[in-house]
């Protein structure tokens, strides 16, 4: 992936977050390909580490978009990908999620909906083969 493609991805994602760099895949890809792209170009799919970071994403990401994040089901447990951390905060799920439709929703998307503040930044379990933009970020102190 060339520098131009990465810059294109940054435009789709909006701003950077010092000292981190926030970017997206330059096109919509499935979860596995998004993880590969993020790992190849940076450190990996986004692992949201705290409320401050989540608030930042809700505020700065482009409106009305859905993004793959680094959260995946592993033996029925939601784990932050590439870490040994479970997802602790059940309040991050959208209402009625995770619903595991057709028992085939093992990946997670985050939706940006600033016109619906109570749903902004909430998570949905989703079929991993669907294609979406993927969030990727480099943070200092990456867990």
CA distances 37 to 67, 101, 121, 124, 136, Å, are: 14, 27, 23, 22, 9
Q: Contacts with Ca ion: how many residues (CB under 5 A)?
A: 5
Of residues 106 and 125, the one with the C-beta less far from Ca ion? 125
Burial (CB < 10 A; 0-12, 13-18, 19+), residue 135, is buried
Cβ-contact 133, 67 below 8 angstroms: yes
Tokens found for residue 72: 């995946």
Q: Are 71 and 79 in contact (CB under 8 A)?
A: yes
CB of 112 to Ca ion, least distance (A): 17
Work out which of 92, 107, 125, 135 binds Ca ion, going by CB under 5 A.
Answer: 125
Find the shortest distance in angstroms from Cβ 105 to Ca ion: 5
- Shortest separation between residue 107's beta carbon and Ca ion, angstroms: 10
Binders in 95-124 for Ca ion, by CB under 5 A:
97, 99, 105, 124
The nearer residue to Ca ion, 84 or 96, going by C-beta atoms, is: 96
Task: Look at strands 123-126 and 21-24 and give their pairing.
Answer: unpaired
Residue nearest to Ca ion (CB): 125
- 137, 46 contact by CB (below 8 A): yes
State in angstroms the smallest separation of the CB of 95 from Ca ion.
11
Query: Is the CB of 60 or the CB of 97 nearer to Ca ion?
Result: 97
> What's the closest the beta carbon of residue 52 comes to Ca ion, in angstroms?
26
Q: By C-beta, is 21 or 97 nearer to Ca ion?
A: 97
Query: Tokens 């990456």 map to which residue?
Result: 142
Binding footprint of Ca ion on the chain (CB under 5 A): 97, 99, 105, 124-125
């Amino acid at each position: 992936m060339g520098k131009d493609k990465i810059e294109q991805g940054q435009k789709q994602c909006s701003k950077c977050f010092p000292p981190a760099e926030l970017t997206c895949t330059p096109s919509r890809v499935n979860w596995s390909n998004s993880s590969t792209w993020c790992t190849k170009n940076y450190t990996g799919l986004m692992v949201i580490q705290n409320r401050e970071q989540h608030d930042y994403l809700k505020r700065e990401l482009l409106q009305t978009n859905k993004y793959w994040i680094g959260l995946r089901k592993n033996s029925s447990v939601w784990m932050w990908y590439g870490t040994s951390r479970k997802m602790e905060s059940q309040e991050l799920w959208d209402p009625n999620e995770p619903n595991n439709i057709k028992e085939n929703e093992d990946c997670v998307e985050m939706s940006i909906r600033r016109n619906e503040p109570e749903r902004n930044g909430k998570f949905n379990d989703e079929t991993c083969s669907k294609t979406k933009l993927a969030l990727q970020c480099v943070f200092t102190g990456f867990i």
